[in-house]
């Protein structure tokens, strides 16, 4: 049994989607970041960086924070969604790291400056909107070569997709990125994704491009 400490954010959804995909039993513990629940001592004991998601594996008592590390752990635990051959494994790893170092923090800045603080920092808005478009271009070119980011459906896709699901927040027209749009819709149709997206708080629905 996995204890999942999470909230309805792209980083949180990575792990709930993965848990649904691998069909591991898990218990959800909502951490409402709008109420600063991530700063409670009991959560900090699991996630010292006061960020969701975090897990505790009741099978061995292991506590983990950082969504990328959690995805790798669950893939290792179940033997799913992370290739075992050297080339495939490292290809998946590099795209997972691309998400952790690029897509996540850069699109997060778009959310901060463009959605929540629009007009306060025009330079920052321009900078991060341009970077968002660049990253979408990188993803689109990669998906022109393969069905999923690293070939087969892997933890790299699970890490990237929740951030792309906020394309409207980022001012992105997915129709301009044909390959991203195809990939996005295919993943959105997966039953595990449809269930994991609504953890811990049910949403109106998965955003879909027109």
Q: Quick one: tokens of 182?
A: 């195809």
Q: Which two tokens stand for residue 55?
A: 């897990």
* Three-state helix/strand/coil letters over the chain: CEEEEECCCHHHHHHHHHHHHHCCCEEEEECCHHHCHHHCHHHHCCCCCCCCCEEEECCCCEEEECHHHHHHHHHHHHCCCCCCCHHHHHHHHHHHHHHHHHHHHHHHHHHHHHHCCCCCCHHHHHHHHHHHHHHHHHHHHHHCCCCECEEECCHHHHHHHHHHCCCCCCCCCHHHCHHHHHHHHHHHCCHHHHHHCCCCCCCCCCCCCC
210 counts as catalytic: no
Q: One of 8, 16, 47, 165 is an active-site residue; which one? A: 8
- The residues that are catalytic are 8
């Amino acid at each position: 049994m996995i204890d999942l400490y999470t909230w309805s954010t792209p980083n949180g959804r990575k792990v709930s989607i993965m848990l649904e995909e691998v069909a591991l039993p898990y218990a959800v513990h909502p951490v409402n970041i709008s109420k600063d629940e991530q700063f409670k001592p009991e959560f900090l004991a699991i996630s010292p960086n006061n960020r969701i998601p975090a897990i505790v594996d009741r099978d061995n008592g292991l506590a983990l924070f950082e969504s990328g590390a959690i995805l790798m752990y669950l893939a290792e635990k179940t033997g799913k969604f992370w290739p075992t051959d050297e080339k495939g494994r490292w290809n998946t790893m590099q795209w997972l790291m691309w998400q952790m170092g690029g897509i996540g923090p850069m699109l997060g800045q778009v959310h901060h400056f463009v959605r929540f603080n629009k007009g306060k920092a025009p330079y920052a808005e321009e900078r991060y909107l341009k970077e968002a478009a660049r990253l979408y271009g990188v993803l689109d070119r990669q998906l022109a070569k393969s069905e999923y980011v690293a070939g087969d459906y892997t933890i790299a896709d699970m890490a990237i997709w929740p951030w792309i699901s906020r394309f409207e927040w980022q001012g992105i027209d997915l129709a301009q990125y044909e390959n991203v749009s195809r990939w996005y819709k295919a993943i959105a149709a997966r039953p595990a994704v449809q269930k994991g997206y609504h953890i811990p708080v049910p949403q109106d629905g998965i955003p879909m491009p027109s």
